[in-house]
């Protein structure tokens, strides 16, 4: 991370906006494209007024056609531009799956390095916003298996900026996931100017000795809240914010687990085949005899997504209280 002198308080929306703005200012190869990113300035107003400042050639309101939003961005990237494609909601990334998994992820590999694909795909994901079945999903587990991609899911404004800068600077395709519930909810100090946080590095956001909790996105904040609660009960929980999902940070997880000897993985996405599976498997491979309790995954139930009706959303989502309970059980195991 570069040394920066000053900082200001931003929420996650503002952190994305500021980073994109600075990227547009810094390099005219940077192009933003997506649905309603122009005059509307994106549905969360992230790129508001960009079109006036940078022009419609650099801030492209695309037709509603996700496969080509990504596909055209891949072509731009292959020919020297630095596109940042937006998928309006993560739920609508499925039509672009072919271009992300079949094309972007394989451009460098299949051409033996002749062509590259420096592309960022940003998209808001996650629930707790009454988004119902199709404006709430988590998508990371549908992509994290794919060699050639990188996936980032920051939780804090300063990480949003540092990781988005790293994604934009990265010479390979990065899927950048923004939890929409954190957009305005989460505020924090953000350094001024350009700095990057390396992809693939987790962050210990709270130290503790009796249990390691690994999470990312919105749930990092709830896990922190739960861990504070446990602290007040005299129980010591370490919270690791994954930040990057591919690559994931083995060293940080293992050194935490080797210290606490217990691992609880928490994610909003459903459990079967989710990110937690790989984390658990990695620890079971590398640190089995350091474990004093079975690894536990606290995840969403295995249903397609949360329903629109409040009780359905509440049932799908976890809560700091539920997380605290899971932590208590693990610590006391």
Partner 1 sequence: MAKTETKATSLERHGLTDEQLRQMFRNMLMQRQLDNRGFQLNRQGKVPFALGSEGHEALQAGAAMAFHRGKDILAPYYRDLGLALGIGLTPYEILLSLFARAADHNGGRQFPNHYSSKAAGLMSFSSILAAHIPHAVGAAYAIKYRKETERAVLVTCGDGTTSEGEWHESMNFAAIHKLPLVMLVENNEWAISTPLDKQMAQPEIWKRAAGYGMPGKRFNGFDPIATYGAVNEALERARSGGGPTLLEGTCYRYLAHSTDDNDMTYRTKEEVTEHRKDDPVPQFERSLLDARVMSIADVDAMKKDVLRETNDATDRAEAMPYPAASDLYTHLYEGAWQPWQ
Contact positions vs its own copies (CB under 8 A): 67, 91, 94-95, 97-98, 101-102, 105-106, 109-110, 133-134, 141-142, 144-148, 246, 270, 272-278, 280-281, 283-286, 288-289, 291, 293-297, 302-304
Closer residue to partner 1 (CB): 76 or 223: 76
Is there binding between residue 36 and partner 1 (CB under 8 A)?
yes
Closer residue to its own copies (CB): 48 or 290: 290
Closer residue to ligand TPP (CB): 88 or 212: 88
- The CA-atom distances, in angstroms, between 163 and each of 134, 173, 175, 290 are 26, 13, 11, 32
SS (H, E, C) 104-170: HHHHHHHCCCCCCCCCEEEEEECCCCCCCCCCCCCCHHHHCCCCCCEEECCCCHHHHHHHHHHHHHC
Return the axis-axis angle of helices 157-169 and 12-26, rounded to nearest 10°: 30
Tell me which of its own copies, partner 1, ligand TPP, none is bound by residue 296, counting a contact when its beta carbon lies within the kind-specific cut-off of 5 to 8 angstroms. Answer: its own copies
CB atoms within 10 A of CB 304: 11
Tell me which of partner 1, ligand TPP, its own copies, none is bound by residue 281, counting a contact when its beta carbon lies within the kind-specific cut-off of 5 to 8 angstroms. Answer: its own copies
Is there binding between residue 147 and partner 1 (CB under 8 A)?
yes
CA–CA distance, 72 with 281 (Å, rounded to integer): 37
**Which one of residues 83, 127, 162, 276 is an interface residue with partner 1 (CB under 8 A)?**
83
Q: What residues pair up with 84 in beta bridges, in sequence order? A: 32, 120
Q: Is 298 in the active site?
A: no
CA 315-316-317 angle, to 5 degrees, is: 95
CB 264 within 8 A of CB 212: yes
Tell me which of its own copies, partner 1, ligand TPP, none is bound by residue 284, counting a contact when its beta carbon lies within the kind-specific cut-off of 5 to 8 angstroms. Answer: its own copies
Assigned token pair, 198: 């390396």
- Binders of ligand TPP among residues 15 to 74 (CB under 6 A) are 35, 64, 66
Is there binding between residue 64 and partner 1 (CB under 8 A)?
yes
**Which one of residues 8, 309, 319, 333 is an interface residue with partner 1 (CB under 8 A)?**
309
Give the active site residues: 135
């Amino acid at each position: 991370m570069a040394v920066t002198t000053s900082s200001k308080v931003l929420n996650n929306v503002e952190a994305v906006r500021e980073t994109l703005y600075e990227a547009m200012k810094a390099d005219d190869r940077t192009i933003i494209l997506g649905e309603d990113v122009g005059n509307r300035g994106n549905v969360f107003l992230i790129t508001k007024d960009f079109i006036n400042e940078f022009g419609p050639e650099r801030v492209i309101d695309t037709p509603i056609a996700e496969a080509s939003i990504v596909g055209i961005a891949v072509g731009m990237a292959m020919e020297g531009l630095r596109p940042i494609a937006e998928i309006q909601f993560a739920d609508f990334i499925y039509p672009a799956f072919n271009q992300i998994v079949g094309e972007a992820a394989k451009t460098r590999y299949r051409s033996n390095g002749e062509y590259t694909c420096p592309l960022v795909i940003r998209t808001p994901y996650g629930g707790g916003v009454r988004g119902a079945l199709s404006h709430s999903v988590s998508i990371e587990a549908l992509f994290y298996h794919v060699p050639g991609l990188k996936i980032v899911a920051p939780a804090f404004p300063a990480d949003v900026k540092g990781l988005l800068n790293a994604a934009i600077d990265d010479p390979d395709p990065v899927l950048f996931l923004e939890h929409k519930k954190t957009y305005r909810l989460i505020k924090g100090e953000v350094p001024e100017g350009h700095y990057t946080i390396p992809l693939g590095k987790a962050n210990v956001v709270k130290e503790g000795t009796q249990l390691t909790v690994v999470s990312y996105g919105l749930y990092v904040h709830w896990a922190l809240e739960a861990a504070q609660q446990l602290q007040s009960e005299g129980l010591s929980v370490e919270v690791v914010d994954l930040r990057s999902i591919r690559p994931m940070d083995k060293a940080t997880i293992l050194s935490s687990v080797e210290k606490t000897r217990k691992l609880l993985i928490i994610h909003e996405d459903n459990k079967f085949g989710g990110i937690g599976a790989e984390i658990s498997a990695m620890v079971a491979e590398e640190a089995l005899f350091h474990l004093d309790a079975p690894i536990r995954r606290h995840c969403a139930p295995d249903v397609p997504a949360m329903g629109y009706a409040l009780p359905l959303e509440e049932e799908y989502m976890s809560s700091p209280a539920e997380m605290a309970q899971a932590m208590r059980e693990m610590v006391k195991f």
